[in-house]
Amino acid sequence: MTPTDLLLARFEQVWLHDFEFVAQRGEHPDVVCLAARELRSGQTLQPWRDQLGAAPPYRTDDRVLFINFVAPAELCCHLALGWPVPRYVLDLNPAFRNLVNGRHAPEGKSLLGALSYFRINNIGTKQKEAMRKRIMAGWPFTAEEQEKIQAYCLSDVDALQLLLSKVLAEPEFDLDIALYHGEFVAVEAKMQHAGVPIDMPIFSQLADKKIWRGIRMSRPP
């Protein structure tokens, strides 16, 4: 068994997964597509939005681990689709940040920064920004764009798989601590999905620039 297999042996399945979605300010993610790969079997899924049903195409129970980078985004997609949040999540974002705490990460602490830190080839910042910009522009997508978006989404799963082996090989990495962080990001995703309760009648008044300016300029009695 490889070091990765030994460390993750407690789980029957290990899924690397990534969503692409349209994000409108203050709204739930509008899911575009999913890319997922089971680490041991190599089973790979690439459903487009119209192929995503009422239940996820994989297990989410306590014998399954999900690997992400900035997991709240993927978990919010689960919630937007009405899917359950996975029981166990390993978010490589805080894991990487913990590993480089006090060290120099020349390309930053994003996914591309983490790949660069471990000298893993990636698609490059400009190409990634171009794809994200097109996705964020929203629907509709042409057949050619759909193909490119799905390939781009799967490339992030490929990157996660390479990054995972590097992170797990670091002597400072502690899986139990990482899973504890995963519990928090799951709660964070639920908070984001629920949103902050707002008194809409009062909010509509505060959103009026004239009223808000009057409140700011008023003096206490």
> Beta strand 13-22 with 64-68: parallel, antiparallel or unpaired?
parallel
Quick one: pLDDT at residue 1? 62
Give dist(CA 157, CA 143) in Å, integer: 22
> Beta strand 88-91 with 64-68: parallel, antiparallel or unpaired?
parallel
Residue 199 pLDDT greater than 90, yes or no = no
Quick one: pLDDT at residue 21? 98
How many Cα atoms sit within 13 Å of 206 on the Cβ side?
7
**How does DSSP classify residue 139?**
S
Total count of domains within the chain? 1
**How does DSSP classify residue 100?**
T
Distance of CA 141 to the CA centre of its chain: 22
Residue 5 pLDDT greater than 80, yes or no = no
**pTM of the predicted structure, to 2 decimals:** 0.88
Domain containing residue 60: CATH number? 3.30.420.10
According to DSSP, the residues that pair with 85 across neighbouring strands are none
pLDDT digits (tens, 9 = 90+) for 68-113: 999 999 999 999 999 999 999 999 999 999 999 988 888 899 999 9
pLDDT digits (tens, 9 = 90+) for 136-176: 999 999 999 999 999 999 999 999 999 999 999 999 999 99
Percent of the chain with pLDDT over 90: 75
Could you list the residue range(s) of the whole structural domain that residue 61 is in?
3-217
